[in-house]
Amino acid sequence: MIEIEKTGVPAVPIVSGRFVEDAVASSRAFGMPSLQWVVVPRIYRNLEHDLCRSQTVDVIDELIDCLTSEIGARVSGIETDSGRTYEADDKYEAVLAMNDDLIGEDLGDGLPLFPATRQAVEDMLTGTNLPADHVVCDMPPGFGIATVEKIAINSVMAGAKPEHLPVVIAAVKAISNIQADGGKSLLMSTSPQAPFLIVNGPIIDELGFNPRSAIGPGRDNQVNTVVGRAFAMCFRNIGYWYPGKMDMDTIGTTRKFIQCVAENEDMSPWDPFHVDQGFKREESTVSLFITDGELDQQDQGNTTAEGLLKNLAYGCVFGTKSIQEKGHTQRLILMPPDVAGPVGKQEFTKQAAKEFIQANANHSLGKMIQYMPLEGEARVAEKWKWLENLSEEQRLEIEFPVMDSAEDCYILVVGADRAKTAIFPSGPAPVTEGIDQYRA
């Protein structure tokens, strides 16, 4: 609606009740805080037709008033002051007061935060060669200005160390290059899309990233956890990715405690992912994926490459097949060494493995598209309209690849011993950013 208004055509969005704070934050972030809207109680997407009509009729007069009058900018409710002071009898009490305040205002992730004192931030800034006021990017989805100092402040609060800062900076830069709009529409969706970070190169060993049982808590994953958390704090407080404002998940996901893992390059039979992306093996990088679910695909005895890959292909049908105009179905596969090793030894290149998985990741088209009714659905792409003429039984009988090409499949070797593969519906294409350019 803002884009329509910018062309000179009056536009009034109809906003469902739960999305009012999101509308306030979004109109501010996207450059039109005076945008007017009307509010209805229910979301239209899965609402019966008679309720769609009745709740719209109820606001017609208000809608006309909005189209024919002007109002001032709404208050966003987002605090932009750069400094806060907390005083108490001792430092511990002051830290507790800080946490009560920041977490109460939803400026944290719900876990205890470290105080970003002036000295702590200055120490953090020693980890990079960039000046504090250097602008890295405008960070989606709310497009706050991500300066090095702001990234450092959020990294301190997450418990990161100065040597971690270049990784966080690179990840922030990467998210700004997801699609033309930084993945704005994905990140603000009611679905649980979340960023996922994967580190490659010498920095894995230098900083102690864990490439084995790399997702989850514990001592071995301390660096993984802290870097992911630092990036997540930047996402909230620079990108305005606050629940109920610009993050509108229906249920949510633990993946929004953002994961950062390392590829197990030493146990991979193939070039690491960053080499696939055009970097040199001796360069350090972070790659950013957008994931939309997670599946543990177990294997209980396959030893041939084809047997292992057919099982993975079956796991890849987890999810849906997009039938929208811009829809694209991709899969991120974290393949453990006990799968990658045999596949590589049996003369499968990584590209050949991707092609095999894509060719075998077939499922009933009728089942994969049941998330969206076909009849009269405006969002269904023209190339899929032929499905309307088929019965449900005919649709169910059609076997169809979940991915359009092998390039929609991303394989990274991650994990310890045992043939357990993690498969994530993902997309759009990942972005890989070099880290070395940001190091002190």
HEC readout, 59-85: CHHHHHHHHCCCCCCCCCCCCCCCCCC
| pLDDT band for position 46 (cuts 50, 70, 90) | confident
pLDDT, greater one: 61 or 126: 126
Q: What confidence score (pLDDT) does residue 417 get?
A: 84
pLDDT, greater one: 184 or 325: 325
- Is 182's pLDDT higher than 70? no
Planar angle of CA 199, 200, 201, nearest 5 degrees = 135
Euclidean distance between CA atoms 292 and 255, whole angstroms:
9
Amino acid code (one letter) for 248: M
For 375-427, the pLDDT digits (tens) are 777 788 888 989 989 999 999 999 999 999 999 999 999 999 888 999 999 98
Q: Which of 108-112, 232-236, 322-326 has the lowest mean pLDDT?
A: 322-326
In angstroms, what is the C-alpha Rg of the chain?
A: 24
Give the start-to-end residue ranges of the domains of the chain. 2-67
Asked if 259 and 215 count as a contact pair (C-beta separation under 8 A), the reply is yes
Q: Which of 4-13, 195-204, 395-404, 428-437 has the lowest mean pLDDT?
A: 4-13
The predicted model gives 288-294 an average pLDDT of 94
Kindly state the percentage of the chain with pLDDT values over 90.
64
Coil, helix or strand for 247? strand
Q: What confidence score (pLDDT) does residue 147 get?
A: 97
Q: What does the DSSP 8-state code read for residue 133?
A: T
Q: What confidence score (pLDDT) does residue 74 get?
A: 58
- Closest by CA position to 391, among listed 361, 423, 364, 366: 366
pLDDT, greater one: 208 or 36: 208
Q: 272 preceded by cis ω (within 30°)? A: no
The predicted model gives 121-147 an average pLDDT of 95
- Is 206's pLDDT higher than 90? yes
For 242-278, the pLDDT digits (tens) are 888 888 888 888 899 999 999 999 999 999 999 999 9
Q: Which of 306-310, 325-329, 404-408, 413-417 has the lowest mean pLDDT?
A: 325-329
pLDDT, greater one: 311 or 21: 311
- Is 226's pLDDT higher than 60? yes
- Closest by CA position to 170, among listed 186, 194, 193, 146: 146
Intra-chain end-to-end CA distance of the chain, in Å: 44
For 55-102, the pLDDT digits (tens) are 999 999 988 888 887 766 555 555 556 688 898 899 999 999 999 999
